[in-house]
DNA sequence: TTTCATGCAAAAGGTTTGCAACATA
DNA sequence: TATGTTGCAAACCTTTTGCATGAAA
């Protein structure tokens, strides 16, 4: 299937690249919709999948919805267990883990990703000031 | 909120413990429903969350639905990218990663989980015999 | 008896899809 | 001109929720 570089696809990629966080699909739809109110959700969701497929952006499956990241270099993520915000974590990729996992599971493992959980700076500050653990 | 150990809750826990894979919430509902056709989805989903909350079982968020695992000891998982099946991976937990992630992100990281991707034995065999990479 | 939990069905939240009209190559 | 893509709305799937009824403690 030969792909077409439509006006909409270009706009969606541009918008994702302009967003600094790790927006959910719907947040991207909202941002795109602000720039062109005739673009539908279907188009945005479809194109996000296409772009992720092509490697233009990275799909990040998180509880509460798929998120997308324009940084395609290998890196991990941390999610705030209080507010759900996501940030980047740059750590060296440990290839040997995949081999160890293959041995342990019997699957042919070719990759892994690590998801960290914790509190973002502002939630941490808030919890601390309220005295909760 | 004082919890009650209802007939339904006991049955649901029993069913999860009897399932060897990593069943999705709905698969568990189906299995429970086979034993008592009056139990509703709401009850099963509610109780799975309660049980996970209490630490009786472990909630595993995967694309395509939440899965549950009766093995509560720390371990990782591998998912087959072809058929979606999930298996256990027993690897030592690397505490130092959390510190490194804290440094990298600015979050206060307290845990992480690693998700492996690959092919399960039967999908691997199938792909190989068909000649695909 | 008190109040937490159930069963049912409806709602919610996120994503995908069918299809006729449209636009890109 | 051929066919991938859009826009719209409806369908889907998984999970949550409202509420009257039922059952643990």
Which residues in chain A belong to E strands, given as ranges?
58-62, 65-69, 76-80, 86-89, 108-119
Interface membership of B83 toward A (CB under 8 Å): no
Interface membership of A31 toward B (CB under 8 Å): no
Question: Using one digit for the tens of pLDDT, what is the confidence trace for A83-98?
Answer: 888 999 999 999 999 9
- Non-local CB neighbours of B120 within 8 Å, separated by 6+ positions: A106, A107, B80, B82, B83, B85, B87
Q: Which nucleotide is nearest to B45 (CA to C1')?
A: D15
Question: Using one digit for the tens of pLDDT, what is the confidence trace for A57-85?
Answer: 999 988 888 999 999 998 999 999 888 88
Query: In angstroms, what separates the C-alpha of B105 from chain A's closest C-alpha?
Result: 5
Q: In terms of DSSP bridges, do strands B86-89 and B76-80 run parallel, antiparallel, or are they unpaired? A: antiparallel
Measured from Cα to the C1' atom, the residue closest to D24 is B4
Q: What is the pLDDT of residue B132?
A: 46
The predicted model scores a pTM of 0.87
Interface membership of A104 toward B (CB under 8 Å): yes
Chain B residues whose CB is inside 8 A of the A117 CB are 109-113
Within 10 angstroms of residue B113's Cβ, the number of other Cβ atoms is 16
Question: Using one digit for the tens of pLDDT, what is the confidence trace for B42-97?
Answer: 999 999 999 999 999 999 988 888 999 999 998 999 999 888 889 999 999 999 99
Are A104 and B118 in contact, with CB atoms under 8 Å apart? no
Are A59 and A68 in contact, with CB atoms under 8 Å apart? yes
- Non-local CB neighbours of B94 within 8 Å, separated by 6+ positions: none
Sole residue written with tokens 């915000």: A85
Question: Using one digit for the tens of pLDDT, what is the confidence trace for B113-133?
Answer: 999 999 999 999 987 775 544
């Amino acid at each position: 299937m030969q792909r077409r570089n439509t006006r909409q696809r270009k706009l969606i990629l541009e918008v994702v690249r302009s967003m600094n966080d790790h927006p959910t699909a719907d947040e991207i739809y909202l941002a795109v919709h602000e720039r062109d109110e005739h673009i539908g959700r279907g188009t945005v969701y479809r194109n996000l999948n296409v772009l992720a497929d092509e490697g233009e952006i990275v799909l990040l499956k998180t509880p509460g919805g798929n998120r997308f990241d324009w940084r395609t270099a290998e890196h991990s993520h941390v999610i705030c267990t209080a507010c759900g915000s996501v940030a980047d974590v740059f750590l060296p990729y440990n290839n040997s883990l995949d081999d160890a996992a293959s041995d342990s599971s019997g699957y042919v493992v070719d990759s892994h990703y690590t998801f960290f959980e914790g509190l973002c700076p502002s939630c941490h500050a808030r919890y601390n000031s309220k005295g909760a653990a």
